[in-house]
C-alpha cells in the first residue's frame, strides 16, 4: 500500500479546517445561551484527554493508522468489523456535513434550486479529491487556511462595532446545566469528531509527536470556534442565536462600514465552503479507507465512485427538512457519536497498552511483517 | 486520436462555460421588480400591502430634483390573509416577482401595530430575501400606504428619503431609528420593550411630505403609546443612544431667554440597587456640550454664568427625564428604557424573584434616581453674547 506522508504543518492545518468545518455556520451550543464562551472552553478541556488518547493509540503503533491498529489488536475478524463501524460513522458524518452545507446554501442563497444540486457538486468534488489522494486534500488545506484566516480576521474587525457585551450578560448565573449540556454537544460536534483523523493519519518520522499535532489542531481550531461563536452571540444575542438555523450568517449581515462595505454575507459562504470541503473530503476519505479495510482490500481508490454516489443519495435523503436536521444534530447525534468518539477508542487504547506490555521484548520488525 | 480527444475536451469545456453560467433561479435584472419600501395596513382581517417599486428609466426621462438618478417609483397594492399571501398576490398586479433584498423601509400602520406586529416581523426575519437591516416605522393616525403616496422633494422616492433621514438621525437627537433585527431582539429580550419611530405625512406648502418624529412604544408585540419628539430625546438619553443633538436650555436670570446647547457627546450609565427590597435604578447622564446660540443679552459664558447655566440645565434635564420615565411608567407601562433588562443582566438573582411575566406589574413602581452632569465646552466662535449698542 502506497503511503502518503503528511508534514506536521499539513496535519495541523487539516485538523483546524476540520474543526472549523460546519461548526462555524451552525447554531452550536444553544443551551448555554449567553454563556456560550464558557461552554466552548469547557468542551475544549473535555476534549483534551480524549485527543490525547487518540494520539497515544497512534504513537503506540508507528506507521499504522487506526484501521491497521484495530486489525493488529483485535484480530482480523473483530478488527475488520470495528473498522466497518468506523467507516459507517465516517460515512454518516460525511453525509451530515454535506446535508448541512446543502441546507445552508439552499436556505440562505438559492431557495429555488433543488437541494440536491449544491450537494451533488460538493460531493463530486470530495469524491475527486479523495481519488487523488490525501496529499491533494492536505495541499488544498494549506491553500485554504490562510485565506480563511485572512477573511475571518477582516470580518471580525468589521464586526467589532456591532459587538455588545450586554448580550453576554448575565454571565455564568445559575446556568451550569445549560453550559454542561452545551459543552457535551460541542464535545461531540465538532471537537471529538477528530477521531476521524486516527483513520487518516499515522505516526511517522515527520509527525513524531502525535499529541503535539492533536493539541495544536484542537487549541487553534477551538480558539477560532470560541472567537467566532462568542462574537456571533455578542452581535445577535441569545434569542436570535437560538431561533436561527445559521446564526453566523445573521451576524455578518449586520456589517456595515460607512454604508460602503455591507452585504458581505458571502464571506460566510467562502469560509464555510472551504472548511466544509476539507471536512467532507476527509470524512469521505476515512469512509473509503475504512470500507476497503473491512473488505480486506489493499487499495481504497476503486471505492470512491460507488461510495461517493451512495454518499450523495444518503445525504440527500437523510432529512426531509432543515428543522429535522437541526433536531437530529441537537438530540440524537451526541448518543450516536459517543461509541465512536469515546467508547471504542478507549477500549482500543487499553487493549493496545496491554498488548504492548506483553510484546515488550519482541522486535518491531515482526509486527510490520505480520500485517503484510 | 489523442489530438482529437483534446480538441473535443476543449470544445466540451467551452460549451460548459457558456451554457452553465449563473444559478438555477437565474433572473435578469430587467425581470425584477426591485422593492425599495413597503407598508402594511389591515382592514377586515386582510393585510393590505403597498410597495414602492423602482422603475429605472433611461436617459430619455427628464431630470428630476438635484442629485436625482431619474428613478420614478411605482406603487402597487395587494392584499391577502397573510403577509406572504399579499406579497405573492402582488405578482398579478406588478407583473414581475418582487425582489426584496434592497428594501430599505417597512412602514406599519398604527392599527396593525396595535393588534400585534409579530406576523410582519416574523416574515421579514424568516424570508431569505428580506434583510433584517431594514428600518421599521409606525405610521400614526394614517394608513401606512398613504405615507408612500407622499412626495419626496430631494430624493427620488419616499423610501430613500426616510432611509437617508434615519441614517443621519445622529444630528437631530430626536430620532430613534430601529431596524427590524434590533426590533425583534428587543421584543424577545427579557425586561425591555421595543420602540419604533413614528412617521406621518404632513403638509408642506402644497405637497404632502413624510416626516419622521417621535417614537412608538410597544409592549410585547403590541403598540401601546407614543412619545413626541422631545420625549424621544430623553428616551435616547435613557437608552444611551444619544450621540449628537440639540438641547435647549433656559437660563436662570431671565426665564424667557433661550440658550441652545449643542451636545457633542453623551454617555448614560445605569445601575440598579435595592432599597427596602425594591429595585431603584440610578441613572447618570454625562454630557459634553457647548453653547450654540444665545437668544438675548445674557451672561452665560463667564465662569459664574456658565456655572449657573450648567446647574439650571442639569436640573431641567433631570426633571424632563424623570417626567418622561413617569409618563411611560404610568400611562403605557412598557419598559422601553430597559430597566428590567438591566436588572436581568446585573442582578440575575433579583430578576428570578420576579415571577415570569410579572415585570409589567413591577415596572411602574420602580423608583429612579436621575443625575445629570453637563460639561460645557466653549461657545462656538463668539466669546460673548451678541451685545446691542445703546
Average pLDDT per 10 consecutive residues for chain A, totaling 372 residues = 72 93 88 92 94 90 87 90 94 92 86 85 91 91 93 91 88 87 92 91 71 92 94 91 89 83 84 91 94 90 92 89 85 91 93 82 46 40
Based on the domain organization, do B382 and B316 belong to the same domain? yes
Range(s) of the domain holding residue B250 = 236-390
The pLDDT-based confidence of B64 (bands split at 50, 70, 90) is very low
Of B24, B131, B188, the CB nearest to A112: B24
Domain ranges in chain A? 8-348
- Show which of B191, B209, B227 is a domain's final residue: B227
Chain B window 104-133: which residues touch A at a Cβ cutoff of 8 Å? Answer: 128, 131-133
CATH class of the domain at A8-348: mainly alpha
| C-alpha distance from B309 to closest chain A C-alpha (Å) | 35
Choose, out of A235, A237, A238, A249, the residue to mutate when testing the contact with B (most B CBs < 10 Å): A237
For residue B246, tell me if it sits in a domain.
Answer: yes
- Show which of B193, B227, B261 is a domain's final residue: B227
- Show which of B180, B206, B227 is a domain's final residue: B227
CB atoms within 10 A of CB B373: 13
pLDDT at A365: 44
pLDDT at B70: 66
Based on the domain organization, do B373 and B291 belong to the same domain? yes
A253 contacts in chain B (CB < 8 Å): 131-133, 181
CB contact under 8 A, B181 and A236: yes
Based on the domain organization, do B83 and B40 belong to the same domain? yes
DSSP labels, A189-207: TTGGGGGHHHHH----STT
User: Is residue B60 pLDDT above 60, yes or no?
Assistant: no
For residue B19, tell me if it sits in a domain.
Answer: no
Least confident span in B3-17, B179-193, B240-254, B267-281: B240-254
Based on the domain organization, do B142 and B254 belong to the same domain? no
Mean pLDDT within B56-67: 51
Q: Which residues of A9-45 are buried (b: 16+ CB within 10 A; e: fewer)?
A: bbbbbbbbbbbbbbbbbbbbbbbbbbbbbbbbbbbbe
Based on the domain organization, do B214 and B277 belong to the same domain? no
Q: Is A49 exposed, middle or buried (0-12, 13-18, 19+ CB in 10 A)?
A: exposed
Report the chain B residue with the minimal C-alpha distance to residue A116: B24
DSSP labels, B99-127: E-TT--EEEEEHHHHHH-SHHHHHHHHHS
| C-alpha distance from A311 to closest chain B C-alpha (Å) | 23
Report the chain B residue with the minimal C-alpha distance to residue A256: B133
| C-alpha distance from A237 to closest chain B C-alpha (Å) | 7
| C-alpha distance from B328 to closest chain A C-alpha (Å) | 23
User: Is residue B353 pLDDT above 60, yes or no?
Assistant: yes
For residue B51, tell me if it sits in a domain.
Answer: yes
Based on the domain organization, do B319 and B384 belong to the same domain? yes
The beta-carbon contacts of B11-15 under 8 Å, at least 24 apart in sequence, are none
CB contact under 8 A, A170 and B344: yes
CB contact under 8 A, A259 and B352: no
pLDDT at A175: 84
> For residue B248, what is the domain's CATH number?
3.30.300.210
**With pLDDT > 90 as the criterion, what percentage of chain B qualifies?**
21
Closest alpha carbon to B105 in B187, B50, B46: B50
Based on the domain organization, do B46 and B175 belong to the same domain? yes
Based on the domain organization, do B81 and B216 belong to the same domain? yes
pLDDT at B257: 64
Q: How far is CA B352 from CA A174, A175, A336, B7, B127, in A?
A: 10, 13, 36, 75, 35
Question: Is B31 an 8 Å CB contact of chain A?
Answer: no
Question: Is A317 an 8 Å CB contact of chain B?
Answer: no
Question: Dihedral through CA B124, CA B129, CA B134, CA B136, nearest 10?
Answer: -30
C-alpha cell read off for B143: 394608513
Report the chain B residue with the minimal C-alpha distance to residue A117: B24
Choose, out of B348, B349, B352, B353, the residue to mutate when testing the contact with A (most A CBs < 10 Å): B348
Provide the number of structural domains found in chain B: 2
Residue whose grid cell is 506490555 = A357
CB contact under 8 A, A169 and B185: no
For residue B11, tell me if it sits in a domain.
Answer: no
Question: Is B331 an 8 Å CB contact of chain A?
Answer: no
pLDDT at A17: 94
Question: Is A242 an 8 Å CB contact of chain B?
Answer: no
Pairwise pLDDT comparison (B247 vs A38), residue with the higher score: A38
pLDDT at B298: 66
| C-alpha distance from A123 to closest chain B C-alpha (Å) | 18
Based on the domain organization, do B166 and B299 belong to the same domain? no
CA separation for the pair B167, B64 (Å, rounded):
23
For residue B81, tell me if it sits in a domain.
Answer: yes
pLDDT at A4: 60
B185 contacts in chain A (CB < 8 Å): 236-237, 239-240
Question: Is B184 an 8 Å CB contact of chain A?
Answer: yes
Amino acid at each position: 500500500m502506497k503511503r502518503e506522508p503528511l508534514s506536521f504543518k499539513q496535519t495541523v492545518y487539516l485538523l483546524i479546517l476540520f474543526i472549523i468545518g460546519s461548526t462555524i455556520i451552525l447554531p452550536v451550543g444553544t443551551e448555554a445561551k449567553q454563556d456560550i464562551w464558557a461552554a466552548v472552553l469547557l468542551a475544549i478541556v473535555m476534549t483534551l484527554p480524549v485527543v490525547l488518547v487518540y494520539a497515544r493509540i497512534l504513537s503506540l503503533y508507528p506507521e499504522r493508522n487506526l484501521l491497521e491498529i484495530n486489525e493488529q489488536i483485535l484480530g482480523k475478524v473483530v478488527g475488520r468489523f470495528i473498522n466497518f463501524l468506523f467507516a459507517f460513522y465516517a460515512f454518516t458524518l460525511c453525509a451530515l456535513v454535506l446535508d448541512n452545507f446543502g441546507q445552508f446554501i439552499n436556505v440562505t442563497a438559492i431557495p429555488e434550486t433543488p437541494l440536491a444540486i449544491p450537494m451533488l457538486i460538493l460531493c463530486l468534488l470530495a469524491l475527486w479529491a479523495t481519488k487523488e489522494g490525501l496529499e491533494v486534500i492536505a495541499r488544498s488545506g494549506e491553500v485554504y487556511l490562510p485565506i480563511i484566516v485572512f477573511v475571518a480576521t477582516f470580518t471580525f474587525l468589521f464586526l467589532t462595532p456591532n459587538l455588545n457585551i450586554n448580550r453576554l450578560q448575565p454571565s455564568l448565573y445559575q446556568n451550569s446545566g445549560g453550559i454542561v449540556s452545551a459543552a457535551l454537544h460541542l464535545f461531540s460536534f465538532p471537537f471529538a469528531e477528530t477521531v476521524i483523523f486516527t483513520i487518516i493519519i499515522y505516526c511517522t518520522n515527520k509527525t513524531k509527536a502525535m499529541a503535539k499535532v492533536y493539541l495544536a489542531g484542537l487549541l487553534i481550531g477551538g480558539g477560532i470556534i470560541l472567537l467566532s461563536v462568542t462574537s456571533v452571540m455578542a452581535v445577535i444575542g441569545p434569542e436570535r442565536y437560538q431561533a436561527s438555523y445559521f446564526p453566523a450568517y445573521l451576524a455578518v449581515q449586520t456589517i456595515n462600514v460607512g454604508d460602503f462595505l455591507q452585504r458581505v454575507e458571502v464571506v460566510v459562504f467562502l469560509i464555510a465552503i472551504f472548511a466544509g470541503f476539507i471536512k467532507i473530503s476527509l470524512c469521505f476519505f476515512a469512509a473509503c479507507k475504512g470500507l476497503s479495510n473491512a473488505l480486506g482490500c489493499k487499495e481504497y481508490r476503486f471505492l470512491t465512485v460507488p461510495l461517493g454516489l451512495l454518499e450523495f443519495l444518503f445525504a440527500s435523503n437523510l432529512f426531509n427538512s432543515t428543522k429535522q436536521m437541526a433536531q437530529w444534530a441537537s438530540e440524537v447525534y451526541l448518543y450516536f457519536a459517543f461509541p465512536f468518539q469515546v467508547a471504542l477508542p478507549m477500549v482500543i487504547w487499553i487493549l493496545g497498552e496491554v498488548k504492548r506490555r506483553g510484546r515488550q521484548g519482541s522486535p518491531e520488525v515482526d509486527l510490520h511483517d505480520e500485517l503484510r | 486520436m489523442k489530438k482529437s480527444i483534446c480538441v473535443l475536451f476543449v470544445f466540451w469545456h467551452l460549451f460548459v462555460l457558456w451554457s452553465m453560467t449563473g444559478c438555477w433561479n437565474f433572473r435578469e435584472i430587467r425581470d425584477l421588480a426591485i422593492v425599495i419600501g413597503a407598508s402594511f395596513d389591515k382592514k377586515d382581517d386582510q393585510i393590505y400591502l403597498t410597495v414602492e417599486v423602482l422603475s429605472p428609466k433611461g436617459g430619455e426621462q427628464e431630470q428630476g430634483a438635484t442629485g436625482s438618478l431619474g428613478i420614478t417609483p411605482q406603487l402597487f397594492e395587494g392584499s391577502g390573509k397573510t403577509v406572504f399571501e399579499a406579497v405573492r398576490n402582488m405578482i398579478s398586479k406588478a407583473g414581475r416577482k418582487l425582489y426584496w433584498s434592497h428594501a430599505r423601509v417597512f412602514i406599519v400602520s398604527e392599527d396593525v401595530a396595535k393588534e400585534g406586529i409579530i406576523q410582519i416581523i416574523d416574515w421579514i426575519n424568516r424570508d431569505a430575501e428580506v434583510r433584517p437591516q431594514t428600518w421599521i416605522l409606525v405610521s400614526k393616525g394614517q394608513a401606512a400606504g398613504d405615507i408612500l403616496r407622499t412626495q419626496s422633494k430631494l430624493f427620488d422616492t419616499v423610501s430613500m428619503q426616510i432611509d437617508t433621514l434615519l441614517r443621519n438621525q445622529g444630528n437631530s437627537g430626536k430620532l430613534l431609528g430601529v431596524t427590524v433585527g434590533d426590533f425583534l431582539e428587543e421584543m424577545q429580550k427579557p425586561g425591555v420593550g421595543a420602540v419604533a419611530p413614528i412617521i406621518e405625512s404632513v403638509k408642506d406648502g402644497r405637497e404632502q411630505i413624510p416626516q419622521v418624529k417621535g417614537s412608538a412604544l410597544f409592549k410585547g408585540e403590541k403598540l401601546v403609546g407614543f412619545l413626541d419628539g422631545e420625549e424621544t430625546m430623553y428616551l435616547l438619553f435613557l437608552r444611551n443612544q444619544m450621540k449628537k443633538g440639540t438641547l435647549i436650555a433656559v437660563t436662570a436670570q431671565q426665564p424667557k431667554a433661550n440658550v441652545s446647547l449643542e451636545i457633542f457627546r453623551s454617555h448614560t450609565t445605569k445601575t440598579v440597587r435595592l432599597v427596602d427590597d425594591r429595585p431603584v435604578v440610578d441613572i447618570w447622564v454625562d454630557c459634553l456640550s457647548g453653547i450654540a446660540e444665545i437668544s438675548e443679552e445674557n451672561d452665560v459664558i463667564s465662569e459664574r454664568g456658565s456655572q449657573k447655566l450648567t446647574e439650571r440645565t442639569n436640573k431641567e434635564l433631570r426633571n424632563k427625564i424623570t417626567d418622561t420615565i413617569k409618563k411611560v411608567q404610568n400611562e403605557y407601562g412598557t419598559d422601553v428604557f430597559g430597566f428590567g433588562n438591566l436588572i436581568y443582566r446585573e442582578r440575575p438573582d433579583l430578576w428570578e424573584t420576579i415571577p415570569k411575566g410579572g415585570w409589567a406589574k413591577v415596572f411602574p413602581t420602580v423608583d429612579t434616581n436621575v443625575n445629570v452632569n453637563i460639561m460645557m465646552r466653549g461657545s462656538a466662535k463668539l466669546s460673548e453674547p451678541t451685545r446691542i449698542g445703546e
